[in-house]
Structure 1
Amino acid sequence: MPLINLFSRRKRQAQKTGSDVYQYDDIPITVRVQFVQIVRECIGEFYEQGYVASPSVPLYRDMVRIVRKELGVFILPPSQEYDGHNDAQEFFNWFLNEKRIEYVLDGLELGFHAMQSVKDDPYRFRNMDNPLTPPDEAMAEMNARLIEAGIGYQFHGGQIIRMDSQAVHSTVVVPALTLLAEKQYASAEKEFLAAHSAYRSKDYETCLVECNKAFESVLKIIGGKRGWAIGPTDTAKKMLDAAYASGFIEPALQNEFTALRSLLETAVPVMRNKMAGHGAGAVARNVPRHFASLQLHQTAALILFLAEHHAANP
């Protein structure tokens, strides 16, 4: 759902510098309020009276239960045990007041999951109380609100992922995630999303390891379907040798693809070997964020190339 092109929005856009830079340490109150409004419009209001309850009740209840357990509390602050709140009010009041960004992102992710549940089971939620916005439109609007506010997070593939560049994100990362959502790439999708989760949590060493696993998984999946001479424990280089030997890249073009082969063989596996994946020894290893960011984007680009080339050459 495109955002309504109001005067205030046109003015903000005209004043932008064009810089593709995002912030990651705060979700402003205006965006939090918009999130509350969007979730309510999508999954409906909380209603429970005796044995009668709206279909959204279990969604709100799950959201509250998960956050309570994560925070180790019986009631989410600032709500009190006997103040007459319901689960929706407790969740939203907490979300609007939470100071720690990692938990705010947890709340954001849970709200997206609730909207995704409505999409995945429309029959169950057909009698929602006052829903106004279909889930696809609601989730697209929330992602658009985050971008407009200069917040570098988006919901894709079932989780909140960090976005360093809108251009790279929209042209490389999102298409790669779309391809990985195909059933045949399920294992690689899980690993690539794990890399994004580690990146968001600032566990950059794990991010590198998971990127390499996702890259190798895509090679194994494609190689298995094409009958390459590869084994279950082969390295990325051995699998790429088999890919070239099998003609996956046409012989007539292989000279033109020398740089591509070098990139495929070294970009993801070598960075992983140098920066992660082995014991650190006596000195703790510190993987810089920009290294992990490069690895994520390289992995997405190479996965996208391999999967699209496989699909284009049956």
Structure 2
Amino acid sequence: MFMAIYNLFSKRQADAANSGISDVYQYDEIPQNLRVQVGQISTEAIGQYGSYAGSYTNIIEDNDVWHNIERIYLREKGLDRISHEDFSGARILAYMRKCATLDWLDFLELIAIGIEIMAGERYRYKRQTWQVSMQGQKAIDEINYRLLQAGVGYQLEGTRLIRVDSQYVHAEVVKPALSLLSGQGFEGPRQEFLEAHQHYRASEFRQAVAMAANAVESTFKSIFDQKGWTYQKGARISDLVKVAKANGLWPVYLDGSFDQLVATLQSGLPKIRDNDASHGQGSTPKNVPGYIAAYALHLAASKIVFIAEASKCMARSE
């Protein structure tokens, strides 16, 4: 069941340094509506807190999954009590309505373990007793969706909670892209990149793909404007790549090895946008899956980083 000693999320984060780079997510505040939503999901997936005798004065049985979640938290935090409700689950969720962010995250991870345990074979018959109404993976998926929707930068991978910015792509691509776009002259592409993420969090995946592609195109144009390079007003990304190459945005010796990346710029992200997010959807609505939108966002970020860094390097050599 639960481990005797558990390495809480807050312990793993104790030495994490704040990079100071702006992000599309925030990590410090848990909105009240998110606290309520996660409490509701947890109750449906772990079940009722417990049961009383005929009168509401004598507890017959405490839901032992909730009980173990509370027991581990109290042991690891060195506490005797977190709230004064009768049942463990009620005490936990009452505490989570008002506790500090790290404490809330510690409990969220423990709840994810509890959800997995309640979904297991051992609790097959207890699920009916505790009136469990949501399957384990469905509960985890909805919690992740609610976190994403709220713009809170944490996700559950199985039963382990991670900061989104600890993921390699996010840390090495998305945040640097935002940092590079924070400079003067990049207000347009930065706004488009942020809007792409806003659409993604709202599950508006078609719009996310389209806005991500726009951000790449606008980054090219911002650099061209800064350097005084001419380009046609309605230039597509293939035309913008030609302008960048003709003006030596990247070194000549990279032209041969750069062909594959140029092809990606020309047919990768724009292809997704053209096929799935632009030019109308016809009589049959087109659905862009979330994983394609995520790929588009990461691809856009990597191209923005490359283009902006190439421009900075070019400026230093001039």
TM-score (norm. length: structure 1): 0.53
Deviations 1:32-61 (A, max 9, x none): 7223989xxxxxxxxxxxxxxxxxxxxxxx
CA distance in structure 1 between the partners assigned to 2:168 and 2:177 by the alignment: 14
Cα deviation, residue 219, structure 1: 0.5
CA distance in structure 2 between the partners assigned to 1:101 and 1:143 by the alignment: 10
Do residues 34 (structure 1) and 35 (structure 2) align?
Answer: no
Cα deviation, residue 293, structure 1: 0.7
Amino acid paired to 1:35: T
Name the counterpart of 2:267: 266
The 1:145–1:260 alpha-carbon spacing in structure 2 relative to 1, beyond 3 Å, is closer
Name the counterpart of 1:294: 295
CA distance in structure 1 between the partners assigned to 2:6 and 2:160 by the alignment: 19
The 1:151–1:11 alpha-carbon spacing in structure 2 relative to 1, beyond 3 Å, is closer
Cα deviation, residue 226, structure 1: 2.2
In 2, are the aligned partners of 1:31 and 1:145 still within 8 Å (CA)?
A: no
Name the counterpart of 1:256: 257
Amino acid paired to 2:223: I
The 1:244–1:258 alpha-carbon spacing in structure 2 relative to 1, beyond 3 Å, is same
The 1:255–1:291 alpha-carbon spacing in structure 2 relative to 1, beyond 3 Å, is same
Report the secondary structure of 2:8's partner residue.
helix
- In the alignment, structure 2 segments of 5+ residues that lack a partner are 13-33, 40-92, 105-141
Amino acid paired to 1:33: C
Report the secondary structure of 1:234's partner residue.
coil
User: Counterparts of 1:144-159 in structure 2 under 5 Å?
Assistant: 150=160
Name the counterpart of 2:222: 221
Do residues 9 (structure 1) and 15 (structure 2) align?
Answer: no
Cα deviation, residue 216, structure 1: 0.6
Amino acid paired to 1:190: Q
The 1:179–1:151 alpha-carbon spacing in structure 2 relative to 1, beyond 3 Å, is farther
Name the counterpart of 1:57: none
The 1:227–1:267 alpha-carbon spacing in structure 2 relative to 1, beyond 3 Å, is same
Amino acid paired to 1:166: Q
CA distance in structure 1 between the partners assigned to 2:162 and 2:38 by the alignment: 10
Cα deviation, residue 258, structure 1: 1.3
CA distance in structure 1 between the partners assigned to 2:285 and 2:162 by the alignment: 29
The 1:283–1:143 alpha-carbon spacing in structure 2 relative to 1, beyond 3 Å, is closer
Do residues 192 (structure 1) and 193 (structure 2) align?
Answer: yes
CA distance in structure 2 between the partners assigned to 1:32 and 1:262 by the alignment: 51
Rg larger for: 2
CA distance in structure 2 between the partners assigned to 1:144 and 1:104 by the alignment: 7
Report the secondary structure of 2:234's partner residue.
coil
Give RMSD over aligned pairs: 3.8
CA distance in structure 1 between the partners assigned to 2:179 and 2:209 by the alignment: 21
User: Counterparts of 1:101-116 in structure 2 under 5 Å?
Assistant: none
CA distance in structure 2 between the partners assigned to 1:105 and 1:273 by the alignment: 26
Cα deviation, residue 228, structure 1: 2.4
In 1, are the aligned partners of 2:154 and 2:161 still within 8 Å (CA)?
A: no
Name the counterpart of 1:177: 178
Do residues 212 (structure 1) and 216 (structure 2) align?
Answer: no
Identity %: 26
Do residues 277 (structure 1) and 278 (structure 2) align?
Answer: yes
In 2, are the aligned partners of 1:194 and 1:207 still within 8 Å (CA)?
A: yes
Report the secondary structure of 1:215's partner residue.
helix
The 1:7–1:280 alpha-carbon spacing in structure 2 relative to 1, beyond 3 Å, is closer
Question: Structure 1: which 4+ aligned runs deviate by more than 3 Å?
Answer: 6-13, 24-32, 99-106, 142-147, 149-154
